[in-house]
Structure formats: structure tokens, C-alpha cells
Amino acid sequence: MLTLSEPMLLRSQNLIDDQWRDAGLGARLAVTDPATAEAFANVADSDAGDARLAVDAAAAAFPAWSRRPARERAQLLKRWHALILEHEEDLARIISTEQGKPLKEARGEVQYGASYVEWFAEEATRICGDIVAEAVPGRKLLVLKEPVGVVAAITPWNFPLAMIARKIAPALAAGCTVVAKPAEDTPLTALALAWLAQQAGMPAGVVNIVTASREHTPGVVDAWLSDSRVRKVTFTGSTPVGKHLARESAATLKKLSLELGGNAPFIVFDDADLDAAVDGLMASKFRNGGQTCVCPNRVYVHDTVHDDFVERLARRVGALHVGPATEDAAQIGPMINARAVDKIARHVEDAVARGARVVTGGKRVRSADGPHYYAPTVLVDATPAMELSCEETFGPVAPIFRFCDEAEVIRDANDTPFGLAAYFYSNDIRRIWRVAQALETGMVGINEGAIAAEAAPFGGVKESGYGREGSRHGLDDYMHTKYLCQGQLG
């Protein structure tokens, strides 16, 4: 049962042009609690018609919003930021209930998401172009930054607040307007954020949210992809969907930011501080129950420290408390849905069949509470032949691979089409630079497991996508560069 101190946060309709509206065809989408797999709310199940209405509103709002002084846009974002923090507890409860993240982590997500809103409110006032030294007398060369136009933001379920905040905030800061579709599993947080944006005084049409089921999502997304008024698509999610978006937006050559799948390596060298490495792995692997794109998916431990590391890690992992997200003691909540738990179980079964050994976990748990719990797991003797080595498990499973030398582990770490994040622990300064440069990823944690921050550029290389979120680069992704050449100046 979800009770909020501000019941207005619980929305069940789309926000289009400052109006809360049902889907045109009246369809509804049930929202389920992953702890129990039972429906506890419902929202609009929109189709292409609703998606086009949202673009109509965003396109109509764009000229005035983009011309509004940056400081005014910043002030509205700051008001939104303050309201998000003011409603932290309610938002955290919505996140935990629809996504399954333990409450303590959900509160952290509210602060994390809000930090992007504050960051981009500040960055809005620092958008600068250039005046270039003239090559020819009598000419002035100027470079302006301009908002790209209407942005379509498509966001995942694993961080229902932070991911949409870090797309909408830079878009608005740059002067763009937004149509957004949250994941079908977690629409309520996005709608609550949109209500807060409305309370902050965002003008009509600047932020529009459309919710849709898995079945109707393609219709909504295709309506945006084929609409030439939508000038940018920003997406966080799987690589196959990212490739579809890239292909389908080619006809109108939209700007794209794609934050896609990862298969992060986490390397523990023989000169590492093992306690720090265990802390780092606990923080990055078990955050959100292992359901993050930057979670380590393959843990490489040097032969000489392997057994010691595994023993320390297994003690910590075995002590993690699994339980409903809204229970104060919970450190690992339910996985998002049945498909997610089935995939985790399949990966562990495949690994064991191919020679891995379960040190702790390795099974479904708490089935009396609900069907979506999986025990935090450590496996040893993992090899590249196992499914979990090639594919993101997206669950609380740490498979340990033993290695003997640096060149070998770098080759293995890079032996994947993905390149989002990598982590390593070492106290040798030469090795640190060597390895950091050799790893083929967009982000590297060096003696650090928690790398994401609003001031840092988040994003990948290879099939993990392109574009950056956060930092000043995150704002650039919502602008294009216009060059002015003025002649006849004598």
C-alpha cells in the first residue's frame, strides 16, 4: 500500500500541454509492485496519437522557451530542484514501490537525480560561444550555441527518477522542450516529477510525459522517430533498442544520445588494497540489486590474492539482507520482474553447468514474500565460455575470473562489444595510467566503485553508445553549433 504525504504526486494520466489527460483511446496500463507482482496503480496506455499531441505541444512551446533568458530557465529549474528535495520521502516511496529499490537507496536516487537538475540549472547560465580570430581583414567569425529543438527522452526502469531528470534538466537548460516516455514498469515516478515541474511553474508544453505499455511503446516511439519536429532522441536502455532508434531516426537525421548496455570488468591486481577493493565491489555490484548498466559484470582477481579476496567478499555478500524494498533493513530488494529473475537464474545455472562453483547464494529466495527475489551470489572459476561473461546479468551475481598477468586481463576485459564502465584496484602508479588508458570504456573507476556524479560525463564507447550525460558535456548534447560570418566590416 503506497501512502504519500502529498497524494497529488500519484498521477495516473499523461501530462500534455500542461493538461493531465487520459490516453486518446482510453486504454490503461497496470503498475505492479515487484515485491508482490501485484498491481497497485494504473496509468494511461498511450498510442501514436497521444505521442503526436505531445510533440504538437512541445513544438508550440519551443520558440518562447528557447528565447527565454537563460537565467529565467535556470530559476525554474532551481525551483523544480527544491520541490524534488522537499518531496524526497514521497518520491523515494514511489520509486521503491514501483521499482523495488530499497528505501535507503531510493532516497539516494532522489538526491542523485536532483543533483543533475541543480547542476544544469547552474550550467544554463554558462552557455558560451566563441569569437574566432579573423583570418581575413574586415570579417568577424562568431560561434553560437543553440538548442536543438524538441527532444524525445526514453528512459529505463532501473533509475526511474535519476535517468529522466538527467535528460530533461539539460534539455530545458539548453532551451529545448521535451516529450518523454518512462519505462512501462515504472511510470509513476516520472509523472510525479512532471507534476512537480508543473508546480515549479514550467510553462505549458515545455515538459510532456506520455506513458505506454510494452505493447504500445513501439507506436509511441515510432511516432516520435518519424516526426521531423523531434530533433533529438535521448535514450537509456538496451543496445538492440538503441540500434533500432539510430536506424529509425536516420530518415530525419536526429541528434542522438544513447546510453546502452555494459559488461563492466572489475579488476583486482595483486598490489591492490583488498579491503578497499571489496568495499568498491560491494558498492558498485550490489547497488540496486545489481540492476545498473555500470555494475561490474565480470570480476577478475589476480591469482595470488584470489582466495583471500573471495573469502572477504563472500563474507560480506552472504550477510546482505534481502527483503521487500520498503522494509528498513532491506539491502537487496526484489528484481524488477519475472523475466529478470529468470535471466539471473539461467546465467547461474549455465555457469555452474560449465564448471563454476557457488560460494554463496546461487538460488531464488523469499518466495513466500513474492516471486522476484534472488540471493546475492558469488561464483568462482568463471570462464569466458559462460553466458554471464558475454551478457549483462543485471542482478546480484558476482562471477570471479582468476588471472595471472596484466596483458592477459586487459585483453579479456576488452574482449566484449560493450564499453561503458570499467573498474580496477592497484597501488602502482605506473600500472594505474597504463591500465586506465588501455581499457576500452567511456568511464573508469580507479580504486573507486561509485563513479557516477552530476559533474562527471556519463557515457560509453563501442556498442555502449555515444553522447554524455552530466557535466558541461551533457549540456552540449542538447545544442548545436551555429557559425556566423559577418563581412564588409572595413
Q: Please report, as ranges, the residues that interact with ligand SIN according to CB under 6 A.
A: 158-159, 162, 236, 259, 292-294, 452, 458
Please say which residue, 110 or 452, places its beta carbon nearer to ligand SIN.
452
Centre a 10 Å sphere on the Cβ of residue 427 and count the other Cβ atoms it contains: 12
Residue type at 241 in one-letter notation = V
Q: Kindly state the smallest distance separating residue 156's Cβ from ligand SIN, in Å.
A: 6
Please say which residue, 234 or 292, places its beta carbon nearer to ligand SIN.
292
Please say which residue, 158 or 257, places its beta carbon nearer to ligand SIN.
158
Please say which residue, 220 or 452, places its beta carbon nearer to ligand SIN.
452
Q: Kindly state the smallest distance separating residue 100's Cβ from ligand SIN, in Å.
A: 14
Q: How far apart are CA 115 and CA 367, in angstroms?
A: 37
Find the catalytic residue in 184, 259, 406, 469: 259
Please say which residue, 115 or 360, places its beta carbon nearer to ligand SIN.
115
Q: Kindly state the smallest distance separating residue 157's Cβ from ligand SIN, in Å.
A: 10
* HEC-encoded secondary structure of the chain: CCCCCCHHHCCCCEEECCEEECCCCCCEEEEEECCCCEEEEEEECCCHHHHHHHHHHHHHHHHHHHHCCHHHHHHHHHHHHHHHHHCHHHHHHHHHHHHCCCHHHHHHHHHHHHHHHHHHHHHHCCCCCEEECCCCCCCEEEEEEEECCEEEEECCCCCCCHHHHHHHHHHHHHCCEEEEECCCCCHHHHHHHHHHHHHHCCCCCCEEECCCCCCCHHHHHHHHHCCCCEEEEEEECCHHHHHHHHHHCHHHCCEEEEECCCCEEEEECCCCCHHHHHHHHHHHHCHHHHCCCCCEEEEEEECCCHHHHHHHHHHHHHCCCECCCCCCCCCECCCCCHHHHHHHHHHHHHHHHCCCEEEECCCECCCCCCCCCECCEEEECCCCCCHHHHCCCCCCEEEEEEECCHHHHHHHHHCCCEECEEEEECCCHHHHHHHHHHCCCCEEEECCCCCCCCCCCECCEECCEECCECHHHHHHCCEEEEEEEECCCC
Residue 259 a catalytic site member: yes
Please say which residue, 41 or 190, places its beta carbon nearer to ligand SIN.
190
Would you state the cell numbers that stand for residue 37, as one nine-digit string? 507482482
Please say which residue, 217 or 292, places its beta carbon nearer to ligand SIN.
292
Angle, in degrees to the nearest 10, between helices 70-86 and 103-124: 170
Q: Kindly state the smallest distance separating residue 6's Cβ from ligand SIN, in Å.
A: 26
Please say which residue, 362 or 465, places its beta carbon nearer to ligand SIN.
465
**Active-site positions?**
259
